[in-house]
C-alpha cells in the first residue's frame, strides 16, 4: 500500500520542482530583457544596444525633440554603474557658482563726508591704480585722496597683501566682505570697487570721516561699543595718520594753485 502511494507523491514533487524552474527561468529572462531595453534607452550609441530592444525600435520614430546620446561613450557597455559613470552623473548635477555681483549703491552716500573732489593731483596722481581709484571714488562720492590714503595705510598698494587677521588685497577686505559681494579680493579692480563701497556705507552710517575710518580699521562693532573712535592705539594712529596725509595733500594743492 505504501509503495503505490509513494510513487505518485514523488512524481508530483518532480512536476512541482520542474514548474518552479520554469517560472524562475522565465523571470530571469524577463529581467535580462528589461535591463537590455533600459540600457539601450540610456545608451543608444552603445555596442549591441539594439540587440535586446523590441522590433518596433528599429522603425523610424517621429519625435519633436530628438533624444541626445549619452555622455559615457560607445565603449562603456554597462555591466552595472562604473566609478567613472557615477562621477559623471554627480558632476552633471553640481551647483554652478554664483555669478559675480556688482556692489549695490548706498542710499545717502553722496551726502556723507568729503565728496568727490576731482581726480587726484599732486603726489598721488601717478600712484598705482590711480585710474581705478578715481573711477570708484567718483561712483561712491568719496574723495579720491581718502581712498588713496586708506590703500596706503592698508597695503601700500600691494594687491597680494594679507594681514595676520586675514584681510586681503589693496583695501584689505575681510573674507566676510568679499563673500558678501562674491569677488576675488586679490583682483585690484574688484577690491577697490567693493572697498570703496564698504567705506561709503560706513560714511553714510556714521556721517563722520573719523568714525568711518575707525570702523573700517576696528569694525563697526567697536565704534558702536565705545560710541566713538575706540581706545585702541592701532586704530587711533590709523585715523590720525590718514587724516594728516589728507591735510598735507590739501595744503600742497593749495600752494600749487598759487604758483
Axis-axis angle for helices 233-258, 209-218 (nearest 10): 140
All three cell numbers of 45, joined, read: 550609441
- 70-83 average pLDDT score: 53
CA–CA dist 230, 248 (Å, integer): 25
- Percent of the chain past pLDDT 70, that is, above it, reads 52
Q: How confident is the model at residue 198 (pLDDT cuts 50, 70, 90)?
A: very high
Residue 212 predicted with pLDDT over 60:
yes
Of 7-16, 193-202, 209-218, the one with minimum mean pLDDT is: 7-16
Quote the mean pLDDT of the chain: 73
**What separation in angstroms does the CA of 64 have from each of 61, 67, 68, 167, 254?**
10, 9, 12, 55, 75
The reported pTM is 0.55
User: 228 pLDDT exceeds 60?
Assistant: yes
Quote the pLDDT of residue 243. 94
Q: Quote the percentage of the chain above a pLDDT of 90.
A: 45
Q: Is 155 helix (H, G, I), strand (E, B) or coil?
A: coil
Domain annotation for the chain: domains and CATH numbers: 1-54 (no CATH), 109-258 (1.10.530.10)
Residues classed as catalytic: 154
Distances (CA, A) of 169 to 98, 195, 218: 21, 10, 17
Amino acid at each position: 500500500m505504501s509503495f503505490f502511494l509513494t510513487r505518485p507523491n514523488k512524481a508530483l514533487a518532480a512536476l512541482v520542482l520542474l514548474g518552479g524552474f520554469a517560472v524562475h527561468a522565465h523571470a530571469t529572462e524577463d529581467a535580462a530583457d528589461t535591463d537590455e531595453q533600459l540600457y539601450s534607452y540610456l545608451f543608444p550609441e552603445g555596442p549591441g544596444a539594439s540587440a535586446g530592444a523590441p522590433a518596433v525600435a528599429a522603425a523610424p520614430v517621429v519625435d519633436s525633440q530628438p533624444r541626445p546620446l549619452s555622455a559615457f561613450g560607445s565603449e562603456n557597455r554597462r555591466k552595472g554603474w562604473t566609478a567613472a559613470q557615477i562621477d559623471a552623473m554627480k558632476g552633471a548635477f553640481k551647483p554652478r557658482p554664483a555669478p559675480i555681483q556688482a556692489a549695490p549703491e548706498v542710499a545717502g552716500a553722496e551726502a556723507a563726508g568729503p565728496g568727490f573732489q576731482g581726480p587726484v593731483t599732486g603726489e598721488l596722481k601717478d600712484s598705482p591704480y590711480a585710474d581705478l581709484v578715481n573711477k570708484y571714488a567718483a561712483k561712491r562720492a568719496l574723495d579720491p585722496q581718502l581712498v588713496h590714503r586708506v590703500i596706503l595705510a592698508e597695503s601700500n598698494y600691494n594687491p597680494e597683501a594679507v594681514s595676520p587677521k586675514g584681510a586681503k588685497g589693496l583695501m584689505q577686505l575681510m573674507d566676510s566682505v568679499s563673500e558678501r559681494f562674491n569677488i576675488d579680493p586679490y583682483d585690484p579692480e574688484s577690491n577697490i570697487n567693493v572697498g570703496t563701497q564698504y567705506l561709503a556705507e560706513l560714511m553714510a552710517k556714521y556721517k563722520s570721516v573719523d568714525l568711518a575710518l575707525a570702523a573700517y580699521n576696528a569694525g563697526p562693532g567697536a565704534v558702536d561699543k565705545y560710541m566713538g573712535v575706540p581706545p585702541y592705539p592701532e586704530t587711533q594712529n590709523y585715523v590720525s595718520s590718514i587724516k594728516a596725509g589728507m591735510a598735507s595733500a590739501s595744503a600742497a594743492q593749495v600752494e600749487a594753485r598759487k604758483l
